[in-house]
Chains A and B, each alone.
Chain A
Amino acid sequence: MTAPPSSGRAGWAAFRSLLLRDLTVLDRDLKEFLPNTLMQPAMLVFVFTYVFPHIGQGVGGSGNAGRFSTLLLGGLVAQSIAFQGLFRVALPLARELDITNELEDRVLAPAPISLIALEKIVAGALEGLFAALVVFPIAAFLPSTPIYLRAHWGTLLVVTVLSCYASAALGLTIGTRIEPRLVPILLGFVAAPLGFFGAVFYTWDALAPIGWLQAAVLVNPVLYMSEGFRAALSIGVGHLPVATVCAALLAFSAVFTVLGINGFKQRVLG
């Protein structure tokens, strides 16, 4: 009797092919993905760092407009990764799991269900990375005010990987638990607090005068992404210690991976 071919190898081959499928779909969706990714950051950069300084609006504190553009860069890159990772995983998944049943063939790929769920996270993480690459030049070169940048490559690499992964894992966690009809709520009740309380437009230490808020925002994963990108890219703006950022993002990644894979299993296995 011959031994059956290795399950593990077949599983990873299926994983790679599932990833290839998702990237093929991303490539096809580029004409929607690009404007969707660019629009909000471009508007924010334009209004906050061009319009407001020109009309004398005092956003970003008194006088130091360059500091605001610099801190905004890290925040916008973080927010783009978080939103793209989250939405590119959660939205199709909510639809495919509930209405269209079109996940069926991928669920029947010869790989363990947890590996199929993990592929969703990796695909979403790559899409988040792509969003960051697209948004970075906008946030770095569009502002009319000066930006003070210096890349710490090691920190940048680790923060980017962890931010992309944690965002996509959050997408899997939410996408496996939300009904398609409730998807619009995601914008108001998930995306808005993630962005507004994610230290995108201010640094975490600047919240010191509002102690309760400074403590409350610590549960927001986007906070650590914003602070992490500031640590990796900016000069002259405060940020959380890199070790704290990495530990928090690792913890969020682990929790969302477990919740996401469990949610996926519950939805596809009876």
Chain B
Amino acid sequence: MSTAPPAAISTSGLTKVYPAPRRHGAALTAVDGLDLSVRPGEIFGLLGPNGAGKTTTVGMLTTRIVPTAGTAQVGGVDVIADPALAKRSIGVVHQLNTLDRSLTAWENLYFHGRYHGMSDPAARRAAGEQLERFRLSHRAQAEIRALSGGMIRRLMVARAVLHRPAVLFLDEPTANLDPQSRMALWDVLREIRDEGQTILLTTHYMEEAEEFCDRVAIMDHGRVLALDTPAGLMRSLPSDNGTGSAAEDWRRVDAALSEVVALADRLGLDLDQVRRRVTLELVFFNLTGRELRE
């Protein structure tokens, strides 16, 4: 018998088929029999081109899209059978600004706490703490429209984790952010990760997935094409001609690097750093192709 703790997210045969539009067109299978298991404390990345089924998957796991078939549990709660209960285990950050524009920054946090059953004093305390932690205290009374893009995203993360959800869903959290804001957001996300928060992340930025995720699933056409640690995925990249193995490729790369080092030595050059590297991006293109998805 396994004694492993229950999965933070587990799906079995999870499927979403959108019916054909009334006049013309065919039914669309957005997610096709997804089996997924995310461990508590794990940072799990979902990568894929536009239309791969990432957002539909997140939508089903966060109770917003009703699956056509299959089962899904988040934090041990059946998302399909009891969505109201499951919502207590879920925190969501979207790529779009979903903050309540009628409320101030502080009120967005305070009312979120109240929606999730906190008492008035507890919600007040939590709102203040989150603002402090996400470096937003100086904008507590600001209207949402007065906040920068980076502040809005940080406030959305602060709100999503305020009720201590079992799983934090980050749907392209750094989309449309400038480099400084992206870095600031990753700083707070690292803090959350280090506290043991389970995170499911979808992103288009391969380097983010590579650095941040414990495991990555590459999706396309509603199916998982590959699932492993970032390093494991990069090791699995087959050679270009399709005949040799990845290990052979690495041997060739190593040999080439040795020659570069020897040459630099002969010329009296100091090499600062020599790295051999396959990026996750290459793995991604290899699995999903390079044609434009629009």
Contacts and interface: CB of A to CB of B under 8 A. Distances in A.
A104 B84 contact: no
Contacts of A107: 64
Contacts of A104: 92, 94, 98
A106 interface: yes
B66 A270 contact: yes
Contact of A14 (B90, B92, B100, B115): B115
A54 interface: no
Contacts of A25: 102-103
Given A4-B85, A13-B117, A269 B64 contact: yes
Given A10-B88, A112-B83, A112-B84, A20 B114 contact: yes
A269 B114 contact: no
Interface string B83-126: 11101101010101111111100011001101111000000000
Interface string B241-252: 000000000000
B111 A17 contact: yes
Contact of A110 (B92, B98, B115): B115
Interface string B201-218: 000000000000000000
B41 interface: no
B159 A110 contact: no
Contact of B159 (A4, A11, A20, A105): A105
Given A14-B117, A105-B100, A21 B84 contact: no
A205 interface: no
B85 to A, nearest CB: 5
A175 to B, nearest CB: 15
B36 to A, nearest CB: 19
Contacts of A270: 16, 56, 59, 64-66
Nearest to B98: A104
Nearest to B75: A4
A18 interface: yes
Contacts of B90: 108
Interface in A225-270: 268-270
Contacts of A109: 87, 115-116
Contact of B82 (A7, A14, A28): A7
B101 to A, nearest CB: 5
Nearest to A15: B115
A7 B84 contact: yes
B73 interface: no
Interface in A62-111: 92, 100-102, 104-111
Contact of A102 (B87, B100, B115): B100
Contacts of B62: 108
A25 B101 CA distance: 10
B46 interface: no
B77 interface: yes
Contacts of B59: 270
A102 B65 contact: no
Given A24-B107, A25-B102, A269-B65, A105 B85 contact: no
Contacts of A268: 64
B97 A105 contact: no
Interface residues of A, number: 31
B111 A21 contact: yes
Contact of A7 (B85, B112, B115): B85
A101 B98 contact: yes
Contacts of A100: 97, 101
Contacts of B112: 105
A18 B108 CA distance: 12
Given A105-B98, A111-B84, A268-B64, A17 B115 contact: yes
Contacts of A13: 117
Contacts of B84: 7, 10-11, 110-112, 115
B78 to A, nearest CB: 11
Contact of A4 (B77, B96, B107, B114): B77
Contacts of A20: 111, 114
Contact of B102 (A14, A28, A108, A115): A28
A101 B94 contact: yes
Contact of B88 (A24, A102, A110, A115): A110
Contacts of A24: 103, 107, 111
A112 B65 CA distance: 14
A21 to B, nearest CB: 5
Interface of A: 4, 7, 10-11, 13-14, 17-18, 20-21, 24-25, 28, 92, 100-102, 104-113, 115, 268-270
6 contacts: A18-B115, A24-B111, A102-B99, A102-B100, A109-B116, A269-B64
The 10 tightest CB contacts between A and B, nearest first, are A17-B114, A270-B65, A104-B98, A109-B115, A110-B87, A110-B88, A25-B102, A112-B84, A101-B98, A13-B117
